[in-house]
Each structure stands twice: as structure tokens, then as C-alpha cells.
Amino acid sequence: MFSRKTYAVPLPGGRVLELGSRCLVMGILNVTPDSFAHASPLRGPADAVAAALRMEADGADLIDIGGESTRPGAETVSADEELSRVLPVLRALHGRLDVPISIDTYKGDVARAAVAAGATIVNDVSGLRRDPALAGAVAESGAALILMHTRGRSKTMDAEAVYDNVIAEVTNELRDSVRSALEAGVPLECVIVDPGVGFAKLPSHSYGVLARLPDFAAALDRPVLVGPSRKSFLRDAVGGRPAPERDWGTAAAVTAAVLAGAHIVRVHAVAEMAQVVRVAEEIRRHRDMANR
């Protein structure tokens, strides 16, 4: 177990996201027809709104809404199509959620419209490598920015999973992403980083990232989000189970992330993983008490 630095991340509207006193739970709300991790997709905005409210009641500290699947091999969609999926949900949730909303997108136009509709965080799985306009849109909006590490696009990322030193290379490539954000005017205090387990990484790489998360966090000195939920790197360890049946494996990865100092974990099964996080936090707390 390792120490976890505290950060105050400013959000639009004067709100501040306090990170570090405990690990926060980010609930995943995919409003796509091809989500890899759900047995059946949400049927429309009403279903999505109900799911978001249920996540908040179950213990989510943040809700991450996505309108384009980013799983390996997924088809890309236009900004207009993505907006047609997420804007009705964002508008319907306005004033109904107390927790901050994140928009999971790499497109500048989508980010700009989503923040105008109530999102306060932009979660970019590309680390600013796909749409040059995204960083500027975030800077103008005042939203916080999550930068995830990946390589290539959904259909090519597996071929890019070649590393000599996965932690050093992920850290250096994300450092470039942070630099791009700063050059576009995004304040450093608004930036959160995500090592991207499961993206352009073999299972051994993803486990290596989790095992050495403190090194990654120390090198970048930014809050760290970890998103292991139901991903394919867990598949062999859980007997080849399909994505919707990987919550036990996810629980182990979430525990490891919390004990290693993650600030946020991004998960599908909010009620279950909120319990996992609370127990892992108790272990951390008693470790700290024993070391005083």
C-alpha cells in the first residue's frame, strides 16, 4: 500500500473536486448500441437517466457518460451521432444529479456541447491524440480533463501493444499529452491522468501497470484514474468469462488500484464496487494508523 497525494480539481460553476482523502467511484453510463460490457444496451434516454440516478444512489461519486464505444475493434461514429445519444441524457439529468458528470469523448465539438449541457469533466481516451480541437474546447469551457493513455485507434490498438518498459513509455507518452493540454490553455490543476489498462496493452502490460501504479503516479504528479472494469485483460484469469461476468475479477483489480493509491476507479457495477472501495479504504486507513 502506498500514500495518496491530495489534489483540488476546479470544475465549472465554482465547484471543486477534492481528490485523495478517499478513492472516488466513477459509474460508467454507456449510451451506445454496442457496449462490450453490458448484456443488453440501454433502450433510450429514460433508461439512461434512471441508470444514472440509480448509480448515484448506489454510491457513485461521478457519472461518466459515453456515446461512442471505444472497445478494441469498435466502429467510430460522427460527432452528430454521438451528440444525438448523449445530449438528451445530459439535458434530462440537469438538476437531478448531485454528483459531477463526465463526458467520455475525444471530439472537441462533443465536449463543447456536453459541457454546455451540464458536464463538468471531459474524459478523453485518446490523450489528445485524435482531435486537435479538443484541448482548446476544454480550456474554453473550464472543465476538468482526464487524459488516458492509448495508442492507435479502436481497430489498430492491439497491434500497437509493443513496449520495452511499459511504465516508462506510458508515463512519457502521457506526459506529452499533459504538455499538449497545457499548451492549449488547460490549467495543470484541471488535469487527471489514466494509464489506460486494457488499451493498446497486452494483459501482461495491464497487470504491470496496476502493479507499478505508485511509480506512474509519482512520475506524473497528477490525480490518477484507473478503469479496469470488466476488461479483456481479466478474461483468462477469470476462466474466459464474458465481460458482463467479470465483476469478481474487477473487484480484485479495483482493490489493487485503491491500495496502490488510485484517486478514482471507473466501474460498471457501482453498488458492488462501492463496497469494494470502502473495504479497501478501511485497510488503507488501518495501515496508516499502524504506521503513526
Please say whether the beta carbons of 245 and 201 come within 8 A: no
**In a 3-state reduction of DSSP, which class is residue 173?**
helix
Q: Which of 111, 79, 114, 73 is nearest to 93 (CA)?
A: 114
Measured CA to CA in angstroms, residue 187 lies from 135, 136, 145 at distances of: 11, 11, 9
The residues annotated with a catalytic role in the active site are: 231, 266
Which cell goes with 226? 484507473
Please say whether the beta carbons of 199 and 149 come within 8 A: yes
Helix H segments across 94-199? 108-116, 133-141, 166-183
What is the Cα 182 distance to its own chain's centre?
20
Would you give the DSSP letter of residue 65? Answer: E
